[in-house]
């Protein structure tokens, strides 16, 4: 369908005219300038053709597009279900030893204050631009990402903030210190690309740590900005990724000043190349109780002189007692940065 010179109305930018169409995207010229929109997605509530006949034709294209996408999704789910049943029949259920888990989080300054890095709201415009244009973060850059829709002009800032404030999903990071919930993520490369990842070693009373690094910093500067005791876990399956949730008082967020003192690679090292602070792929990794205890001990030191010191001490005591950890012969920290 030739869309060039079609007059349209955008719910934010008003009237405009289509000046180019390359199949997947259209460019519309408004009084404020030109904006690029995905086609036909943008006509699902954001754009509308002024001509009713053309609007009806575009709506038919949109409905066909949705049906095709849904059919593709159903075929994939059906294929995965068959594969899942095959794998379940082929292999016996594995029993995993309890482990603690660290999550790699995109930087998010939503809700930033003296008491927290962010992770409690939508990122600022500068960080949205950084995560999408500069660092090209996978979810941030996807067509389904509300932040990417905002950057492209499909929705405005008020609409973006409303999605988050109304409890809607913007990204994992924007709700992390609001809901205290962390997800395993989706495989991004290789044969299993697009498949949900599992959390098969995390159990109730494991320690979960949340890590990030500032824009324009390197991996060695990754730091811990929050920790919590795992209360609920979902291992994940062939449809949904695994996740962990805090359901107790044992959750601590670090201020920007405190967080930058808690460098992740002071505690953790890779099995291969242990002196190299490198995360590589995946949003999570497991670590042992020695590292967990070292982290909690250092948080107590950092929280000394604050109202949260007592909570940090209670957290530490509960963690070692509930998990039966002997701290009498605790090794020194031996992360990648200390080798």
> What pLDDT, on the 0 to 100 scale, is given for residue 81?
64
> What pLDDT, on the 0 to 100 scale, is given for residue 308?
94
164's tokens: 């988050």
> What pLDDT, on the 0 to 100 scale, is given for residue 96?
57
What would the pLDDT profile of 302-329 be if each residue is shown by its tens digit? 999 999 999 999 999 999 999 999 999 8
> What pLDDT, on the 0 to 100 scale, is given for residue 92?
46
> What pLDDT, on the 0 to 100 scale, is given for residue 88?
57
pLDDT-derived band of residue 129, with 50, 70 and 90 as boundaries?
very high
> What pLDDT, on the 0 to 100 scale, is given for residue 197?
85
> What pLDDT, on the 0 to 100 scale, is given for residue 66?
86
Query: CA 116, 122, 124 angle in degrees (round to 5)?
Result: 85
Count of CB atoms situated within 10 Å of the CB of 333: 17
Model's pTM, two decimal places? 0.71
Cα–Cα separations (whole angstroms), residue 334 to 58, 233, 290 = 61, 29, 10
Instruction: List Cβ<8 Å contacts ≥24 apart for 7-11.
Output: 7/49, 7/50, 7/51, 8/47, 8/48, 8/49, 8/50, 9/47, 9/48, 9/50, 10/35, 10/46, 10/47, 11/45, 11/46
Residue position matching structure tokens 């690679």: 265
- Dihedrals φ, ψ of 29, to 5°? -95, 120
- Please report the DSSP string for 154-213 in residue order: SS-HHHHHHHHHTT--S-TGGGHHHH-EEE--B--SSTTTTPBP---SB-TT-EEEEEE-
Residue 105 pLDDT > 60, yes or no? yes
| 18/189: higher pLDDT | 18
Q: Where are the domains of the chain?
A: 7-75, 96-120+172-338, 122-169
Residue 250 pLDDT > 70, yes or no? yes
Mean pLDDT of 199-213: 92
Residue 216 pLDDT > 50, yes or no? yes
Mean pLDDT of 26-43: 90
Angstrom distance (rounded) from CA 179 to CA 172: 10
> What pLDDT, on the 0 to 100 scale, is given for residue 157?
93
> What pLDDT, on the 0 to 100 scale, is given for residue 241?
87
* Mean of pLDDT over the chain: 89
pLDDT-derived band of residue 131, with 50, 70 and 90 as boundaries?
very high
What would the pLDDT profile of 147-201 be if each residue is shown by its tens digit? 999 999 999 999 999 988 887 889 989 999 999 999 987 776 677 777 888 888 8
Angstrom distance (rounded) from CA 37 to CA 153: 8
CB 302 within 8 A of CB 254: yes
pLDDT-derived band of residue 30, with 50, 70 and 90 as boundaries?
very high
Residue 122 pLDDT > 70, yes or no? yes
What would the pLDDT profile of 287-306 be if each residue is shown by its tens digit? 999 999 999 999 999 999 99
């Amino acid at each position: 369908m030739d869309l060039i010179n079609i007059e349209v109305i955008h719910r934010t930018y008003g009237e405009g005219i289509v000046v180019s169409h390359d199949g997947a995207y259209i460019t519309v010229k408004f009084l404020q300038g030109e904006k690029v929109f995905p086609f036909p997605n943008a006509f699902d509530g954001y754009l509308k053709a002024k001509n009713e006949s053309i609007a009806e034709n575009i709506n038919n294209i949109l409905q066909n597009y949705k049906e095709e996408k849904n059919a593709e999704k159903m075929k994939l789910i059906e294929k995965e279900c068959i594969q899942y049943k095959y794998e379940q029949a082929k292999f016996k259920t594995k029993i995993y030893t309890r482990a603690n888990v660290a999550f790699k989080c995109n930087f998010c300054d939503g809700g930033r204050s003296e008491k927290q890095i962010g992770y409690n709201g939508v990122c600022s415009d500068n960080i949205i631009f950084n995560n999408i244009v500069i660092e090209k973060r996978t979810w941030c850059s996807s067509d389904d990402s509300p932040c990417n829709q905002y950057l492209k002009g499909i929705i405005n800032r008020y609409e973006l903030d409303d999605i988050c404030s109304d409890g809607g999903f913007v990204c994992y990071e924007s709700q992390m210190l609001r809901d205290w919930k962390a997800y395993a993520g989706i495989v991004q490369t290789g044969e299993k690309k697009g498949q949900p990842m599992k959390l098969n070693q995390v159990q109730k009373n494991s320690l979960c740590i949340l890590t990030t690094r500032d824009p324009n910093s390197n991996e060695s500067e990754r730091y811990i900005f929050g920790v919590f005791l795992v209360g609920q876990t979902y291992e994940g399956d062939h449809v949904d990724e695994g996740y962990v949730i805090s359901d107790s008082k044992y959750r601590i967020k670090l201020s920007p000043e405190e967080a930058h003192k808690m460098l992740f690679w002071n505690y953790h090292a890779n099995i291969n190349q242990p002196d190299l602070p490198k995360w590589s792929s995946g949003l999570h990794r497991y670590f042992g109780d020695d590292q967990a205890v070292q982290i909690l001990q250092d948080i107590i030191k950092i929280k000394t002189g604050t109202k949260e010191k007592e909570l940090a001490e209670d957290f530490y005591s509960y963690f070692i007692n509930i998990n039966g950890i002997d701290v009498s012969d605790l090794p020194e920290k031996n992360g990648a940065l200390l080798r």
